[in-house]
């Protein structure tokens, strides 16, 4: 069990991530873009949108710090026992597993993270844009849980615990490690259903932070076609690839088939598609 940090120490811990943590800064930038777009269709005037973006960045920082404080309080509580075996799990999995215990420990996490500063900001925003309430409250929860994860991440580092190694051989995922969850944004993640030597299937699922966490949002199938297989196809199906094609020009191919089962905002679909392309490109290289 770690010792409880005071608010000043928490602020310094979070500030260290802004100063020295490139992975954190990259994700924070992603969150900014994600939320700016989510709220953009409520706030259309350019000048007003600029004001919103500046104020919302400060809101994000306040909520993340509050979440970190709640995570530290949870980790240092006398009745909390987080074994090392829990902290070695892959990051995406931990991020989902901590949600229910935090909600139970705080008798309602969403209410526990409400502060005077964030409450005033939310009330003013809702007063200006009536329809924004659901999204701003959801954003507060998502950002706070991200802060909680930062506290868990620092706890893991303090204990000098390293994430369990990824499965090897044909169990290495094309998209992501198959024993983990791949979060596309704070609201959704992919989890692996099946995997073999040439293909894998992932289901898109709402985060446990959402009320409808049992819903299947979509299905992703990734197929790997080795160069040797393409060469055989070239022999059997000459119409597939021009007969004059030099065999040395044939390259292994990864096919991505993504089908959404429920309505997802077009911008979020684009974000997911871009992430899949980047991850597969990383695998190919």
Report the pLDDT value the prediction gives residue 41, as an integer from 0 to 100. 84
* Cα 234 from Cα 109, distance rounded (Å): 58
Top pLDDT among 265 and 124 is at 124
List pLDDT tens digits, range 66-95: 999 999 999 988 888 899 999 999 999 999
Cα(first)–Cα(last) distance of the chain, in Å? 42
List pLDDT tens digits, range 115-143: 999 999 999 999 999 899 999 999 999 99
Top pLDDT among 170 and 14 is at 14
Report the pLDDT value the prediction gives residue 212, as an integer from 0 to 100. 60
Helix (H) or strand (E) holding 195: strand 188-195
Global pTM reads 0.88
CB–CB of 208/235 below 8 Å?
Answer: no
Report the pLDDT value the prediction gives residue 224, as an integer from 0 to 100. 83
Report the pLDDT value the prediction gives residue 44, as an integer from 0 to 100. 82
Q: For the residues of 51-106, what is the DSSP string, one character each? A: HHHHHHHHHHHHHHHHHHHHHHHHHHSTT----HHHHTS-HHHHHHHTHHHHHHHT
Domain boundaries, the chain: 7-158, 169-284
Tally of residues, the chain: 285
210 Cβ contact partners less than 8 Å away, ≥ 6 residues apart: 138, 187
Is pLDDT at 227 greater than 60 in this prediction?
yes
The one-character DSSP state at 27 is: H
* Cα 92 from Cα 183, distance rounded (Å): 7
Quick one: average pLDDT of 19-41?
A: 94
Phi, psi of 173 (to 5 degrees): -80, 150
Measured from the Cβ of residue 265, the count of other Cβ atoms closer than 10 Å reads 11
Q: Reduced to 3 states, what is the DSSP secondary structure of residue 2?
A: coil
CB–CB of 117/62 below 8 Å?
Answer: yes
Question: How many Cα atoms occupy the beta-carbon half-sphere of 44 within 13 Å?
Answer: 2
CB–CB of 64/146 below 8 Å?
Answer: yes
Report the pLDDT value the prediction gives residue 243, as an integer from 0 to 100. 55
92 Cβ contact partners less than 8 Å away, ≥ 6 residues apart: 176, 180, 181, 182, 183, 189
* pLDDT band for position 226 (cuts 50, 70, 90): confident
Cα-based distances in Å from 244 to 139, 226, 232, 233: 55, 20, 15, 14
CB–CB of 219/261 below 8 Å?
Answer: yes
Report the pLDDT value the prediction gives residue 245, as an integer from 0 to 100. 55
Is pLDDT at 100 greater than 80 in this prediction?
yes
Report the pLDDT value the prediction gives residue 118, as an integer from 0 to 100. 95
List pLDDT tens digits, range 140-191: 999 999 999 999 999 999 999 999 998 888 788 999 999 999 999 999 999 9
Is pLDDT at 233 greater than 80 in this prediction?
no
Q: Which two tokens stand for residue 96?
A: 């989902």
Average pLDDT over the chain reads 88
Q: Is 254 left (phi over 0), alpha (psi -120 to 50) or beta?
A: beta
Report the pLDDT value the prediction gives residue 211, as an integer from 0 to 100. 65
């Amino acid at each position: 069990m770690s010792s409880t940090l005071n608010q000043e120490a928490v602020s310094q811990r979070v500030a260290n991530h802004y100063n020295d943590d490139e992975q954190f800064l990259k994700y924070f930038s992603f969150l900014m873009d994600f939320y700016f777009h989510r709220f953009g269709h409520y706030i259309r005037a350019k000048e007003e949108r600029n004001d919103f973006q500046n104020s919302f960045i400060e809101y994000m920082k306040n909520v993340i710090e509050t979440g970190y404080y709640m995570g530290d309080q949870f980790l240092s509580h006398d009745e909390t026992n987080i074994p090392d075996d829990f902290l070695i799990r892959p990051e995406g999995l931990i991020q989902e597993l901590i949600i229910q215990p935090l909600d139970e420990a705080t008798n309602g996490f969403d209410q526990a993270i409400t502060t005077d500063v964030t409450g005033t900001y939310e009330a003013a925003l809702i007063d200006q844009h009536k329809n924004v309430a659901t999204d701003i409250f959801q954003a507060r929860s998502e950002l706070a849980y991200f802060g909680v994860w930062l506290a868990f991440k620092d706890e893991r580092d303090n204990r000098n615990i390293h994430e369990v190694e990824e499965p090897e051989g044909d169990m290495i995922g094309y998209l992501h490690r198959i024993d983990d969850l791949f979060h596309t944004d704070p609201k959704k993640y992919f989890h692996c259903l099946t995997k073999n030597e040439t293909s894998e299937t992932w289901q898109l699922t709402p985060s446990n932070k959402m009320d409808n966490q049992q819903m299947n949002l979509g299905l992703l199938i990734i197929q790997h076609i080795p160069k040797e297989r393409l060469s055989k196809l070239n022999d059997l199906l000459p119409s597939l690839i021009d007969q004059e094609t030099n065999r040395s020009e044939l390259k292994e191919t990864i096919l991505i088939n993504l089908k959404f089962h429920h309505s997802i905002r077009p911008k979020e679909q684009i974000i997911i598609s871009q992430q899949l392309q980047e991850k597969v490109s990383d695998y190919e290289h």
